[in-house]
Amino acid sequence: MYCLELAGDEDAFAMCEAETASSALDCVAPGLATARGIIPQRVRTLAYTHRASELIASCEPTITAAELAIEAATFDRTGSVAVRARDVRSQTGVSTQDAERRLGSILVDRGFTVDLDDPDHELRVLFSAGEVDDEQRESCLIGWLAVESTRDFGERRPTDRPFFQPGSMDPLDARALVNIAGAKPGARIVDPMCGTGGVLLEAGLVGSQVVGVDAQWKMTRGSRENLNALLDDNADAEIIHGDATALPLADGCADGVVFDAPYGRQSKIARHELADLVGGALGEARRIADRAVVVADRSWEHKAREAGWTVDQRFERRVHGTLVRHVHVLSVE
């Protein structure tokens, strides 16, 4: 078993992404989940999971309970250790400094040495309490750190890219969306409204083949410029000038589709034209793939169903002010 430290404050969304890198997930407390198994190389690419650890014990979220759990646990490790404690979202009131000191003392008594700078092993002690799915849950999960996600999203801020347009999606969110859509080495991900190429960039960085389509020449040129600058020379990336409602792509050619639909408040497209555009794009996405993630400023569930999709989940994620992104996770039964 493994324990996952979820990022952000929307556990359902983080779990949706984490499911692509693990099995039998269960959210046991705010910011914490357990998994029967993980794919380490995939965990490294996750946006909304910080770490996965090999679970050795679980208990009530108190230092005393954690001490008893550590004393009862069986270890197959020796060498140096660092204890890292977290009060997840600062809800339990546990002193992490005291927890690290007291639990570290127990490990020293069991033959470990302490090395806070470069330990052979890192013991994660995670205290959490709060509401999950309208139910109060609390737990302390204790485990040996197995893998951390690569937190390099700040290096790819939209404003730092060669080509930038206002409204470009944050790379953290773009990575989560492509992961949910099935991005991985060897998969093909299509963005039929690729804009500046942020979604394609994140899919390409996890090893996917990427295809971007946009109706504006400016966007296709800019997207190509960004991908050429930020992806490896060996990356498989193609940018096409075209119509999202009539994609120049063969049936079933993609493993996943991701697109950020125009927002009504920002777009010059009339309401009925926007509905036709999104509906047409959903239909084309269904023609070329069996999985899609669609982002919009409103629910397009009815259009998705009309196009033959099953709406697995829809998340409402606040961006700022009154702007809420609706994330539709779509599949084919």
The strands making up 188-191's β-sheet, listed across from edge to edge, are 237-241, 209-214, 188-191, 256-260, 291-296, 323-331, 310-320
Contact predicate 46/172, CB 8 Å: no
Q: Classify 237 as helix, strand or coil.
A: strand
Q: Which domains does the chain have, with CATH numbers?
A: 2-148 (3.30.2130.30), 154-331 (3.40.50.150)
Q: pLDDT per position in the chain (333 positions), as tens?
A: 999 999 999 999 999 999 999 999 999 999 999 999 999 999 999 999 999 999 999 999 999 999 999 999 998 899 999 999 999 999 999 999 999 999 999 999 999 999 999 999 999 999 999 999 889 999 999 999 999 999 999 999 999 999 999 989 999 999 999 999 999 999 999 999 999 999 999 999 999 999 999 999 999 999 999 999 999 999 999 999 999 999 999 999 999 999 999 986 555 566 668 999 999 999 999 999 999 999 999 999 999 999 999 999 999 998 877 789 999 999 998
Task: Annotate 33-102 with DSSP letters as a single string.
Answer: EEESEE-HHHHTT-SSEEEEEEEEEEE-SSHHHHHHHHHH------SEEEEEEEEGGG-S---HHHHHHH
Instruction: Give the span between the Cα atoms of 242 and 261, in whole angstroms.
Output: 15
Structure token pair of residue 161: 């890219």
In b/e form, how buried is each residue of 290-310, taking b as 16+ CB within 10 angstroms? bbbbbbbbeebeebbeebebe
At residue 306, the 3 state secondary structure works out as helix
What is the spatial distance between Cα 238 and Cα 254, in angstroms, rounded to a whole number?
13
| 248 burial type by CB count under 10 A (0-12 exposed, 13-18 middle, 19+ buried) | exposed
Whole-prediction pTM:
0.95
Beta-strand runs (E) in 49-134: 49-59, 80-87, 113-114, 121-132
Cβ-contact 297, 265 below 8 angstroms: yes
State in Å, rounded, how far the first CA of the chain is from the last one: 30
